[in-house]
């Protein structure tokens, strides 16, 4: 017999002739049971659709569809104030009352909770219904004590309905005294939005989305009776709550009780909305830019495939202030006698072309190099690498994937045939039994995906976290393996040892779809849980339990991030993830796969576009003569067949006496982001000629000979490709400041002046060329993306709907088989010793994005997170006499910085953690540039440091940073 579970039809389907009644005591109301198709009136248990009448219109919908959902499908408007599409119906506002002929309670029911039934006759407007709605409006207006006359249509949904139904003022004026809630002042203590309790109608939208979508439960109902009010933490300040400032509560508030500060002074009808893609992490959230008078005044979340109407603090509040910032570059700059002077575009571009041509003639084309921008659109990235290859004559081209996920590109390509995320974000978070999360602080680096993982756990998924820190998701985890940084390969080998020894491997999958298994199996025999427990610092039983949960779960995605890739053995780490997933047959299936979370908004796209010394667009290899021949024909040029240098190789080679004499850096800031900054500065100071194309005068741009002003994402049309291979449109919302030009136009002009003519009229034209030369994107075009909303590669033709799940049936390796690799464990290149006894790992924080070039221009973000910090274990701190807030000196073999201590138990004893966002203490002064031999990625996650106290903490009231708010 099928298992009984309220909310599913298993019992009814198993026994169709038995009458079932579902009672509220079971956790679901009778109407809720009917809404899910569990009706005691069920005449035909096989039928999946029903037909009924609404306002004289015959409507056919799926069984279980509510009247409200059916009305939306039919284009019939029913007013609501508490309803949210993403949430279970609440039915509390009573605005959606409709009349059902012959129904209970005088025929009036709430449309959001009442299921449509066969033969039902529904009326959505008549006098009885209108009277009911007027009464609801009348009651709600009695609490609206601060309504302004200038409130216009769209500003307050309640007032919009009041005007529609002719309720111009409440009739309860004399019957209700002014409550304490109504007299409360507007709360503007939150850095991003205000809260006016007098406008709150207790719809609980804010509370419900915070609890069930963001999974934070910050806003709740407080007090009782007329004093009832929605408050954060039952009346405590925002800064002591778990509020992540995602803005979700603001976006769903129907009355403006919660309102973003930047848009509060504008009426809805004063600005236009432009749909675009978020410029921050690789999630690819869809959002609307709010535009007034060529200025972006705010953002609203949109219903994208990846984000489902959610944003994070960076997307909602940190993605527009920088666009119109006064520090934007507006004219070309040429450095003369050490000082930048404004120049015309012709003068600047002539100088760039002449200098690069001179270097090319004197030293050869491989003396030039270019680094492209993972924050810019695919079309810019495509033209940039074409400029480097066709005009410079070299394959010395790269992007910031080199320092974050190049290990993924190489490792997964070697194991599967394609170096990208295998499944979709929705697929790995919606209906899964377990999640194996390795080296990913998801709620801070990819916050919207992090929230979806929290939702998955609430819905029953077991979460296994493998991370050297106690990250936020540890609180939701079934199991946390707090393994030593850099020990992932050993740990995964031990998990595979358990799976094989206990017979949990998928023998059929291994036999039919893989090769290399026997060699891997022999190697992992030596990696017993007991042996590996000594390496990793976790218990053997934890290793066994993690292996069993992952292997036995029907649907269990493996999700990883930079904690796996940013090592001198990063490629081995990635191939270990592939080994583990293949061992249990969790590739090419829904709810499974190997899923790297890409860091920047278009780092996947920049790699796809060929900004790599190893690959042309679409990962067509430079080392393949047929590829060279193909692109020579397509581009009408003779190409260099020699594989180029990576950015981690060519930037240091700019030093005096090095092999690189000219560099073009587009939208990257290696003086902040790359390891061992002393070596980076030496390379940029020594190179003969440096061009930087940027939005701001960055720390890298300060070293340039020529600085060219570029355009921000909101000033151009194009596409981004998110972490799940989803290509989405970016749309121009405002005009660029000053003389800032389209970035791809600048590259075309440089190439043309160097002797290779290049021109495009639009980004759309460039995407057409990308599709023509890139088989995996052959079905991509602006027109199709407008029609479909998004497409996931591979998408090979105009008839191809794209590929949500990779490697279904066979892998993309040439022979169709996945390849196991036998991977021994190697320790990090530099580990703690007597002189430098503490292990340092680096990473991101929630509020800032990489170099802070964008988020650092947002006042509210700076208010929360304004300076650097280092997390120290409380045992070490006690020995060293260090307390939270103390100023400390941190030194490695490469450099020294000063920062502020945050003492907690998030990091292991003899370990520490820093971000690289802040100029007052950049961890990359300390990090080790030891490179993986295949991907040439640096080892950001492990280096050795020593820590000394400088001075005691300043008074608490002086602290304003994120570290202070969260940890002090």
Q: What is the mean pLDDT of the chain?
A: 89
Q: What is the DSSP track for 768-788? A: HHHHHH-GGGTT--HHHHHHH
How much is the average pLDDT of 439-464?
96
Which is more confidently placed, 395 or 43? 395
Interacting residues of 448 by C-beta distance below 8 A, sequence separation 6+: 283, 285, 306, 307, 310, 311, 312, 315
- The pLDDT score that the predictor gives to residue 852 is 80
Q: For 228-245, what is each residue's pLDDT tens digit?
A: 788 887 677 777 778 899
Number of H helices, E strands in the chain: 33, 39
Alpha-carbon span 380 to 742, nearest angstrom: 9
Length of the chain: 968
Where are the extended beta strands (E) located within 524-675? 558-560, 594-596, 615-616, 620-621, 662-666
Interacting residues of 399 by C-beta distance below 8 A, sequence separation 6+: 371, 372, 373, 374, 381, 603, 606, 607, 611, 612, 647, 668
- The pLDDT score that the predictor gives to residue 23 is 29
Q: For 556-607, what is each residue's pLDDT tens digit?
A: 999 999 999 999 999 999 999 999 999 999 999 999 999 999 989 999 999 9
Q: What is the DSSP track for 539-577? A: -HHHHHHHHHHHHH-SS--EEE-HHHHSSTTHHHHHHHH
Kindly indicate the confidence band of residue 955, based on its pLDDT and cuts at 50, 70 and 90: low
- Phi and psi torsions of 531, nearest 5°: -65, -45
Token pair recorded at residue 827: 């320790």
Helix or strand run (H / E) with residue 944 = strand 943-951
Kindly indicate the confidence band of residue 483, based on its pLDDT and cuts at 50, 70 and 90: very high
Q: For 274-302, what is each residue's pLDDT tens digit?
A: 999 999 999 999 999 999 999 999 999 99
Kindly indicate the confidence band of residue 147, based on its pLDDT and cuts at 50, 70 and 90: low
Of 335, 223, 41, which Cα lies nearest the Cα of 52? 41
Helix or strand run (H / E) with residue 501 = helix 488-501
pLDDT of 954 higher than 80: no
Alpha-carbon span 664 to 743, nearest angstrom: 13
Token pair recorded at residue 796: 């090979």
Which is more confidently placed, 28 or 305? 305
**Residue 192: exposed, middle, or buried by beta-carbon count in 10 A (0-12, 13-18, 19+)?**
buried
- The pLDDT score that the predictor gives to residue 947 is 96
pLDDT of 519 higher than 60: yes
pLDDT of 25 higher than 50: no
pLDDT of 15 higher than 60: no
Token pair recorded at residue 359: 């270097």
Kindly indicate the confidence band of residue 150, based on its pLDDT and cuts at 50, 70 and 90: low
Q: Token match 């290990």: residue?
A: 407
**Residue 504: exposed, middle, or buried by beta-carbon count in 10 A (0-12, 13-18, 19+)?**
middle
Kindly indicate the confidence band of residue 963, based on its pLDDT and cuts at 50, 70 and 90: very low
**Percentage of the chain with pLDDT > 70?**
91
Which is more confidently placed, 226 or 496? 496
- The pLDDT score that the predictor gives to residue 959 is 42
- Phi and psi torsions of 26, nearest 5°: -80, 0
Q: For 520-551, what is each residue's pLDDT tens digit?
A: 999 999 999 999 999 999 999 999 999 999 99
Interacting residues of 71 by C-beta distance below 8 A, sequence separation 6+: 54, 77, 78, 111, 124
Of 739, 767, 637, which Cα lies nearest the Cα of 349? 739
pLDDT of 706 higher than 90: yes
Kindly indicate the confidence band of residue 861, based on its pLDDT and cuts at 50, 70 and 90: confident
Q: For 641-654, what is each residue's pLDDT tens digit?
A: 999 999 999 999 99
Interacting residues of 356 by C-beta distance below 8 A, sequence separation 6+: 368, 392, 662, 664, 689, 750, 754
β-pairing verdict for 896-904 and 818-819: unpaired
- The pLDDT score that the predictor gives to residue 145 is 60
- The pLDDT score that the predictor gives to residue 836 is 97
Where are the extended beta strands (E) located within 185-292? 193-195, 219-222, 229-232, 258-260, 272-277, 286-292
Q: Is residue 439 within 8 Å of residue 564, measured between CB atoms?
A: yes
Q: Is there a cis peptide before residue 794, judged by omega within 30 degrees of 0?
A: yes
- Give the number of other CB atoms < 10 A from CB of residue 232: 24
- The pLDDT score that the predictor gives to residue 967 is 32
Lowest mean pLDDT: which of 44-53, 112-121, 425-434, 890-899? 44-53
- The pLDDT score that the predictor gives to residue 960 is 40
Q: Give the distance, in angstroms, between the CA of residue 731 and the centroid of all CA atoms in the same chain.
A: 19
Alpha-carbon span 17 to 197, nearest angstrom: 53
pLDDT of 44 higher than 90: no
- The pLDDT score that the predictor gives to residue 182 is 54
- The pLDDT score that the predictor gives to residue 965 is 33
Q: For 84-140, what is each residue's pLDDT tens digit?
A: 988 888 888 899 999 999 877 678 999 999 999 999 999 999 999 999 999 999 988
Q: Which of the residue ranges 35-44, 150-159, 549-558 has the most confident prediction, judged by mean pLDDT? A: 549-558
3-state secondary structure 397-442: EECHHHHCCHHHHHHHHHHCCCCCCCCCHHHHHHCCCEEEEECCCH
- The pLDDT score that the predictor gives to residue 314 is 93
Interacting residues of 632 by C-beta distance below 8 A, sequence separation 6+: 638, 639
How much is the average pLDDT of 686-710?
97
Q: What is residue 960's three-state secondary structure?
A: coil
């Amino acid at each position: 017999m099928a298992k009984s579970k309220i909310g599913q039809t298993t019992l009814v389907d198993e026994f169709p002739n038995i009458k079932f009644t579902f009672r509220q005591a079971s956790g679901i109301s009778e109407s809720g049971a009917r809404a899910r198709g569990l009706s005691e009136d069920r005449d035909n248990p096989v039928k999946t659709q029903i037909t009924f009448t609404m306002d004289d219109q015959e409507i056919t919908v799926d069984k279980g569809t509510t009247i409200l959902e059916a009305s939306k499908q039919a284009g019939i408007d029913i007013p609501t104030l508490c309803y949210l599409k993403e949430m279970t119906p609440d039915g509390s506002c009573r605005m959606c009352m409709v009349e059902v002929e012959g129904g209970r309670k005088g025929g009036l029911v709430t449309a959001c909770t009442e299921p449509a039934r066969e033969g039902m006759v529904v009326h959505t407007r008549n006098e009885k219904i209108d009277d009911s709605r007027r009464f609801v409006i009348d009651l709600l207006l009695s609490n609206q004590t601060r309504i302004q006359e200038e409130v216009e249509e769209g500003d307050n949904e309640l007032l919009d309905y009041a005007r529609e139904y002719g309720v111009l003022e409440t009739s309860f004026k004399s019957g209700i005294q002014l409550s304490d809630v109504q007299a409360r002042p507007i709360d503007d203590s939150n850095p991003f939005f205000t809260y006016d309790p007098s406008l709150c109608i207790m719809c609980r939208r804010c509370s419900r989305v915070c609890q069930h979508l963001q999974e934070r439960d910050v806003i709740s109902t407080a007090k009782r009776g007329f004093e009832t009010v929605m408050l954060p933490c039952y009346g405590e300040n925002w800064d002591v709550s778990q509020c992540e400032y995602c803005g979700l509560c603001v976006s769903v508030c129907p009355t403006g009780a919660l309102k973003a500060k930047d848009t509060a002074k504008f009426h809805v009808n004063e600005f236009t909305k432009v749909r675009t893609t978020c410029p921050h992490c690789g999630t690819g959230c869809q959002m609307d830019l709010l535009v007034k008078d060529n200025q972006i005044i705010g953002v609203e979340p949109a219903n994208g495939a990846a984000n489902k109407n959610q944003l994070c603090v960076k997307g909602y509040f940190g993605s527009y202030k920088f666009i119109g910032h006064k520090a934007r570059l507006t004219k070309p700059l040429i450095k003369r006698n050490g000082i930048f002077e404004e120049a015309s575009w012709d003068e600047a571009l002539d100088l760039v072309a002449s200098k690069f041509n001179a270097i090319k003639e004197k030293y050869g084309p491989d003396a030039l190099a270019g680094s492209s921008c993972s924050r810019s659109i695919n079309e810019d990235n495509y033209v940039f690498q074409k400029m480097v290859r066709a005009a410079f004559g070299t394959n010395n081209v790269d992007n910031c994937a080199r320092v974050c996920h190049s290990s993924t590109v190489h490792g997964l390509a070697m194991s599967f045939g394609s170096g990208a995320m295998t499944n979709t974000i929705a697929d790995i978070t919606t209906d899964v039994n377990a999640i194996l999360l390795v080296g990913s602080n998801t709620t801070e680096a990819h916050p919207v995906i992090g929230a979806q993982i929290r939702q998955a756990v609430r819905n029953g998924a077991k979460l296994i976290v493998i991370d050297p820190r106690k990250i936020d998701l540890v609180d939701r985890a079934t199991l946390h393996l707090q393994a030593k940084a850099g020990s992932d390969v050993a740990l995964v080998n031990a998990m595979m040892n358990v799976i094989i020894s206990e017979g949990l491997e998928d023998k059929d999958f291994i036999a039919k779809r893989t090769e290399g298994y026997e060699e891997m199996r022999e190697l992992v025999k030596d990696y017993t849980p007991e042996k590996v427990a000594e390496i990793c610092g976790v218990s053997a039983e934890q290793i066994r339990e993690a292996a069993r949960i992952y292997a036995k779960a029907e649907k269990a995605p493996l999700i990883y991030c930079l904690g796996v890739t940013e090592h001198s053995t990063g490629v081995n780490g990635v191939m270990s993830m592939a080994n583990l997933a293949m061992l249990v047959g969790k590739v090419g299936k829904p709810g499974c796969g190997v899923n790297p979370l890409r860091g920047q908004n278009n780092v996947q796209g920049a790699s796809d576009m060929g900004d790599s010394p190893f690959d042309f667009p679409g990962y067509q290899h430079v080392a393949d003569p047929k590829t060279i021949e193909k692109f020579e024909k397509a581009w009408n040029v003779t190409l260099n067949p020699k594989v180029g240098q990576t950015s981690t190789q060519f930037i240091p080679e700019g030093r005096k006496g090095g092999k690189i004499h000219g560099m073009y850096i587009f939208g990257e800031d290696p003086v902040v982001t790359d390891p061992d900054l002393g070596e980076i500065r030496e390379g940029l100071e020594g190179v003969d000629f440096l061009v930087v194309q940027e939005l701001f005068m960055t720390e890298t741009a300060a070293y340039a000979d020529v600085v060219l002003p570029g355009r921000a994402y909101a000033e151009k049309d194009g596409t981004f490709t998110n972490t799940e291979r989803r290509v989405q449109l970016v749309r121009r919302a405002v005009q660029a400041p000053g003389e800032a030009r389209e970035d791809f136009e600048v590259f075309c002009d440089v190439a043309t002046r160097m002797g290779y003519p290049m021109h495009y009229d639009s980004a759309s034209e460039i995407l057409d060329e990308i599709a023509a030369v890139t088989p995996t994107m052959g079905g991509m075009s602006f027109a199709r993306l407008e029609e479909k909303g998004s497409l996931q590669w591979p998408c090979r033709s105009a008839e191809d709907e794209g590929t949500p799940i990779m490697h279904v049936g066979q892998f993309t390796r040439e022979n169709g088989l996945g390849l196991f690799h036998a991977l021994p464990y190697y320790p990090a290149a530099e580990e703690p010793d007597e002189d430098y006894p503490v292990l340092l790992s680096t990473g991101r924080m929630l509020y800032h994005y990489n170099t802070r070039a964008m988020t650092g221009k947002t006042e509210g973000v700076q208010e929360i997170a304004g300076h650097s910090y280092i997390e120290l274990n409380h045992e070490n701190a006690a020995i060293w006499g260090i307390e939270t807030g103390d100023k400390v000196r941190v030194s490695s073999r490469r450099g020294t910085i000063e920062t502020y201590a945050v003492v907690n138990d998030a990091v292991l004893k003899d370990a520490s953690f820093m971000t690289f966002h802040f100029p007052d203490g950049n961890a990359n002064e300390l990090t080790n540039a030891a490179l993986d031999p295949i991907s040439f990625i640096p080892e950001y996650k492990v280096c050795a440091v020593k820590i000394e106290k400088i001075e005691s903490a300043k008074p608490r009231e002086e602290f304003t940073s994120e570290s202070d708010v969260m940890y002090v």
